[in-house]
Amino acid sequence: MTRQQALELVEQHLKNRNLVKHCLAVEACMREFAAHFGLDPEPWGLAGLLHDLDYEYTVETPAEHTERTAEMLAGYALDGEIIHAIKAHNMRVEPLSPMDHSLLTIDPASGFIIACALMHPDRKLQSLDLPFLKKRFKEKSFAKGASREQMAGCIKLGMDVDAFLSLCLAAMQNIASELGL
């Protein structure tokens, strides 16, 4: 599957523009992490772009989330590693690989960083820095849906939270115009 095919699927199945932007943000972060680990960014990017493909269909039945995505992608030529990572981000399977752990930790981090940008005075990703993110990270009531515990799983990638957030922020700043931030 090409990135263009994946993007077309996302745009076909996700009508909420903010959810599409979330998938683009996760894709950018996944590509950045693959490069960081010296790995091919293409499969990582596809995992990030497609990870919430079924979200609008399964929002009322979260236990089905990612299972339906796997079914939707069954007819496409995709590495099983991508499907495993997608399922692992919803804990449908145990996260095993660096791709699995990256998607699991990046998913909430992208939402956290977007929330930080939206509450910053100029509402721009370019204005964010690590000290700003760290301050908000410690505020448990800020962006409550972004699991700090899940993000702290970056330790399984050999990173501390500072390095993890810095890498995510850089990736998202690179596509700030696509995200409208």
What's the pLDDT tens digit per position in 40-50?
999 999 999 99
CATH of the domain at 33: 1.10.3210
What's the pLDDT tens digit per position in 28-38?
999 999 999 99
Mean pLDDT for 7-34 is: 98
**Residue type for 123, please?**
R
Q: Is the pLDDT of residue 109 over 90?
A: yes
DSSP classification of residue 77: -
pTM given for the model: 0.96
Query: Apex CA 73: angle with CA 67 and CA 75, to 5°?
Result: 130
Q: Is the pLDDT of residue 136 over 90?
A: yes
d(CA 28, CA 45): 7
**Domain interval for residue 110:** 3-179
For the chain, give the percent of residues with pLDDT over 90: 96
CA-based end-to-end distance of the chain? 29
Q: Phi and psi for 146 in degrees, rounded to 5?
A: -90, 100
* The pLDDT value given to residue 78: 92
d(CA 114, CA 134): 14
Q: Count the domains in the chain.
A: 1
Q: Is the pLDDT of residue 77 over 90?
A: no
Please enumerate in sequence order all residues whose Cβ is within 8 A of that of 177, keeping only pairs 6 or more positions apart, or say none.
none
